[in-house]
Chains A and B, each alone.
Chain A
Amino acid sequence: MLKTAAQEQLLPGETLQQRWEFAQAAGYDGIELRAKGDFHFRGRLPELKQALADGVVMPTVCVEMLHFFGAFDDELRRDAIEQLKSQLSVIAEIGGLGAQTPASYGMFSRRLPPFEPPRGEAEDREVLLAGLTELGEHAKREGVTLYLEPLNRYEDHMVNRLDQAADLIRTVGLDSVKIGIDSYHMNIEEADPAAAILAQAPWIGHAQVSDSNRFQPGAGHLDWQAWIGALKAAGYDGWLAAECRLTGDPADAVRSVPAFLRRMGA
């Protein structure tokens, strides 16, 4: 059985402990954390340690910033790398598995004006490989994994599909860098999401779930049975972390996810 997690902001409650109580009752196996910039996540370490001591399961963290390690701007890129290194260290310190990040988000889209990015493809690749190497080596030292998330073409212009992420990861050559797949982005970018999962199986380290419309799994039209079936066929035994918006009553919506994913084969 695959394990399910909900991102912390989806769960009702003020504290991680309260959220965990709700999550467990709904059938989740863990909580995916979110990490803001300015070393905010490091500042939460006492809170996270207490939650850990209280039995909250927190396997992964997802970056919640507006600049990333593929930024055009040197300073922003440098900051993103430092933030992410710190986040990897923190998730390691609380016994987690790793941190998920895209190459960029909302910085440029080749499908929207002005269509041509200020930086060429070769330079993009150089920047991404350098960032992934530095972050991957840091993750390796910390004993955790960096999950590179392909985003759809409207949100990132560099890494949209699993094969592009796998190509970068192969080149970097570190076991501490894997793909963090996301069903919503895959639905837009992959010709056959299930086939893409099988084709890139060895590189997949983490999975985030939301439906075709970005709402909770079950609220859209993805073929979840095939998507989860492919993950299981690929031998994946990691997490399915809900990173989504909610439609309907928020508590009911977030509560519906584990049972739905189970029914779809998780």
Chain B
Amino acid sequence: MTALLHSLALPLTPAETDRLRRHAAAVLLGNWTGAATVPSRTLYPHQWSWDSAFIAIGLRHLSVRRAQRELETLLGAQWGDGRLPHIVFNPAVPRDAYFPSTDFWRSSTAGAAAGAPARTETSGIVQPPVHALAAWLVHQADPAASERRGFLRRAYPRLAAWHDYLTGSRDLGGAGLTANVHPWEPGMDNSPCWDGPLARVEPAPPDSFRRADLVHGDPADRPTDLDYGRYVKLAADYRDRGYADTGHAFAVEDPAANALLIASEYALAEIAAAAGADPAPHWHRADRLTSALVDRLWDAEGGIFRCRDLISGELIDERSVSGLLPLIVPGLPGRVVEGLLATLSGDHFRLGELPLVASYDLKGRSFDPARYWRGPAWFNTAWLIERGLRLHGAEDRADALRAAVLAWAGRSGFAEYVDPFTGKARGTRDFSWTAALALDLAAETSR
């Protein structure tokens, strides 16, 4: 088994890497819509928030101008309260191409009090804040072009307002961390971490909505109908409260969302300095967030960060890749880093034996190698862990993970996610962030 896995993840030859680069570029050019990139031409025909951040990180190697534009388009849909919506709808796409669509979210009317844009329709929930990190990486790809277009000077106030929202209205636990109020917000929609908190939610009746994701996706790879009913109920209730951040039936502190906030806060400090603003408040906030992350979510015994259910007040007894992503945080205590590194290669995730990192505990009771965030390996989490390994000096392991990302991304046709044991492609193909992050790692490889 191990030999087979390693043959599947054999490093690409230079010719294969060149082909990968060309194919990845073709995916990104093909999914470009003029102002932003769709995650997938079929399954996700609008702009998604954290997708765009990951896409920009790859796009900077293909067109710095498009990478800047990708982020600017998203920032242009920011709400008055600072939130960046998880979807910005393309008005040219038919309403029934995606559910929930504009007639469900009704952002321009239901979100008016929260400052939703009047002329751009968006969703009302958020996704993890990868954006400042992406903006900084895009800037670094061509600082002269960035300076010429005033990219950072224009992006900075919006990114700062975004982080203010996440650490202000969204500090629902009162301990300094940002909270998520819908399972779609941490980006790992059907993670088993949410099974408990979701069980309290009365699902919307099945005949009250029509899923569009099953038209283009295999039902076995997608969330179940019951889960979907609960997602719909939570979102509808949020909308009906005018997207006010009070009275949430679902509220969790997610380690990945907070780790990405910290990494982005560090990037925001760099951006502030480059844009002529004071970086110090961002350094301080990154420090405070890091302490809170460790205090609130670190499970020393388990060697992993846990999600916290803010309704029950308890840590959630599940191991998800989300709990490993704080590896990207600079300045973690040494014992935490050691714990995370041990857990990565331990029984629950087996990185090293397996080429990529499963999205959920391989020994977990809800593990499913095919279903979305309940087991498959994803490429954005691999990209983040690769970065974290390098940050903490685990260069060899980072190199191996990088090689595996390139091999499995290319050989899967830039799948949305893959079976963590076999590399079999799951979800949609020609998925933008898979192509973008492979392009980024391929560029790093050739540097």
Interface size classification for chain B: 10 to 19
Residue of A nearest to B141 (CB): A225
Cβ-based interface call for B62 (8 A)? yes
Instruction: Tell me the bound Cα distance from A191 to B65 in angstroms.
Output: 17
Judge if B32 is at the interface, Cβ distance under 8 Å.
yes
B411 to chain A, nearest CB (A): 18
Q: Is the interface of A mostly helix, strand, loop or mixed?
A: helix
Any chain B CB within 8 A of the CB of A230? Answer: yes
Top 9 A-B pairs, shortest CB-CB distance: A233-B25, A226-B63, A233-B26, A225-B63, A229-B62, A233-B22, A194-B29, A223-B65, A229-B25
- A93 interfacial contact with B, CB 8 Å: no
Q: Could you give, for residues 206-230 of chain A, a 1 whenever the CB lies within 8 Å of some chain B CB and a 0 otherwise? A: 0000000000000000010110011
Q: Are B29 and A195 in contact (CB under 8 A)?
A: yes
A49 close to B (CB within 8 Å): no
**A34 contacts which chain B residues (CB < 8 A)?**
none
Q: How far is the CA of A229 from the CA of B65 in the complex (A)?
A: 13
Structural contact, B29 and A198, CB atoms closer than 8 A: yes
Count A-side interface residues using an 8 Å CB cutoff. Answer: 14
State whether the Cβ of B64 lies closer than 8 Å to any Cβ in chain A.
yes
Could you list 18 further interchain pairs (A-B, Cβ under 8 angstroms) beyond the known A192-B34, A194-B32?
A191-B34, A194-B29, A194-B63, A223-B66, A225-B62, A225-B64, A225-B65, A226-B29, A226-B62, A229-B29, A229-B62, A229-B63, A230-B25, A232-B22, A232-B25, A233-B23, A234-B26, A235-B22
Q: How far is the CB of B234 from chain A (nearest CB, A)?
A: 38
- Chain B interface residues (CB < 8 Å from chain A): 22-23, 25-26, 29-30, 32, 34, 62-66
A198 to B62 Cα, complex, angstroms: 14
- Write out the residue numbers on chain B whose beta carbons fall within 8 Å of the beta carbon of A194: 29, 32, 63
What A residues does B25 contact at CB under 8 A?
229-230, 232-233
Nearest B-chain residue to A232, judged by Cβ: B22
B residues less than 8 Å from A229 (CB atoms) = 25, 29, 62-63
| Contact B66 A226, beta carbon cutoff 8 Å | yes
Q: Which residues of A contact B62 (CB under 8 A)?
A: 225-226, 229
Which residues does chain B contribute within 8 Å of A234, judged by CB atoms? 22, 26
B328 to chain A, nearest CB (A): 28
What CA separation (Å) do A195 and B66 show in the bound complex? 13
CA A137 to CA B63, docked complex, whole Å: 39
Nearest to A265 among chain B residues (CB) is: B62
- A191–B34 Cα distance when bound, in Å, is 9
